[in-house]
Copies of this chain bind each other. A is one copy, B any other.
Amino acid sequence: MLFARPLAELIAQLEKLPGVGPKSAQRLAFHIIRLPTDDVRRLADTLVEARDALRLCSQCQNISAQEVCPICDDTRRTVAQICVVGDPQDIAAMERINEFKGRYHVLHGLLNPMEGISPEDLKVRELLDRLTDEVEEVILATNPTIEGDATALYIAKLIKPLDIRVTRLAHGMPVGGELDYADSATLLSALEYRREL
């Protein structure tokens, strides 16, 4: 037994987190057990509180502390445009360019037959339910990857018959990249040159 049991247990728990290998789990654990007790309690409480307090916005499905998230609750934002993204992080990326003034819709994933992710696993039904007469355009801002493109095409086919404009972010971004990592300038031009699908 290389480490005391509570320490080994902590390392094992940390190793389960994404991007945390055995080595960084060990580093994190040693850091944590040396922190003041109050700091560790605060961190632990924050984990549980965040998990308990957060839900999905009933409209856009974004992570939210309220029934309706601040973006959907903001009447200054037009309901005529809905920007569809794969993950909640992508909304932060879009908001950083400070250009889009419509609403969002989070799919919580992208189509991926290899991993068994089909349309029923995504918030597609919820998107279609939002497509009232007020909606003029759906901007498909899924990642410019195989999965993101497939998801965009799938949704475009569903929406086309509804006589709503369907656009896709311009491939100004490096193909194969992730929206969440794009710089604001690139994302801005991708929004500007979005094209009809």
CB pair A1–B46 under 8 Å, yes or no, is: no
For chain A, give the interface size range. Answer: 35 or more
CB pair B2–A91 under 8 Å, yes or no, is: yes
- Contact code string A87-98 (vs B, CB < 8 Å = 1, else 0): 111011001100
- Contact code string A37-66 (vs B, CB < 8 Å = 1, else 0): 100111111111111111000000001111
Whole-angstrom CA separation of A70 from B83 in the bound complex: 58
CB pair A10–B46 under 8 Å, yes or no, is: yes
CB pair B4–A46 under 8 Å, yes or no, is: no
CB pair B40–A6 under 8 Å, yes or no, is: no
A contacts, CB < 8 Å to B: 1-7, 9-10, 13, 17-20, 23-24, 26-33, 35, 37, 40-54, 63-66, 69-70, 87-89, 91-92, 95-96, 181
